Structure 1
Amino acid sequence: MPSLFAFAVEREYLQADSTRGVKLLNVLDDRTGYHTWTDDEIGRFEVCWPLGTRERLALDLRLYTGLRHGDAARVGPQHAATVGSASRRRRPGGRSRSGSCRRSRTRSRRAGSAH
C-alpha cells in the first residue's frame, strides 16, 4: 500500500500519503509466500476427510474448480449450472459443448420429470 499511495501523491491524485509512518507487520509469509500443499499432504487430507464432509468439499472446490478463495466460500447448489458451463470445450467448427456437470444435471431433471 505505501507504494500505491506514494505513486498517487507523486501523480497528484492525492495530497498526502496516509500510509506514511505506519509500521508494516513483519510476517514470515511476507518473505517466503504461503506453503503450497504437496500431493502427499492432499492425499492425507482426503483420507482424513472423506467425500461428503464439509472439509472435503472446501478442498475440492479450491482444487478442481479454479474458483478464487472468496468465490469458493460463497458457491452453493444454485451455482452448479454456472460452474459447469464455465468450462466449455471447443468442438471442431467452432461449436461448443457444455461441461459434464451441466449435461448430467439436465439428464437428472428429465428423468425426474418423467415420474
Structure 2
Amino acid sequence: MLQKVFPFKIQTIQTDNGTEFIYKYISDTELCPFDIALKNAGVQHKLIPPRTPWHNGKVERSHRNDRRYFYNWEKFASVEDLNRKLKDHLRWSNRKPMRTLGGKSPLDLLREILSNA
C-alpha cells in the first residue's frame, strides 16, 4: 500500500527488533512475513540497535501523538469503523503545522520537497 501512495520510491525501512518485523531472536532460518514482503518489494530493512528507542524518536513521538489524539478518544465498532476514523485522523495530522518542521505541516513539507526535486 505504501508503495502505491508514496510519491517516491521507498528504498529502506527502519524498524526496531520486534518480532512483528524480524525473527532474528526466534529462528536462525525462518524469515518473518514482514522481511519476506520487503525482499519481494526490493526494499532494504535496517534495524536499530537493541534497547535504543531513541533511534526511532520520530516514530515514538508519532505513536505518542496518535495515542494522545486518537486512540485515547475514539471507540471502534468494527475494523471498518477504525479504518474510517483513522483515515480522518491521518488527514488531520498530516495537515497540522509542526514546530519541528518549521511551522509547516508534513504535507506542506512533502509538497515543497517534491517541487524542488
> Normalising TM by the smaller chain, what interval?
under 0.3
Q: Which has the higher contact order (CA 8 A, sep 6+)?
A: 2
What TM-score does the superposition give when structure 1 sets the normalisation length? 0.26
What TM-score does the superposition give when structure 2 sets the normalisation length? 0.26
If you compute each CA radius of gyration, which structure gives the higher value, 1 or 2? Answer: 1
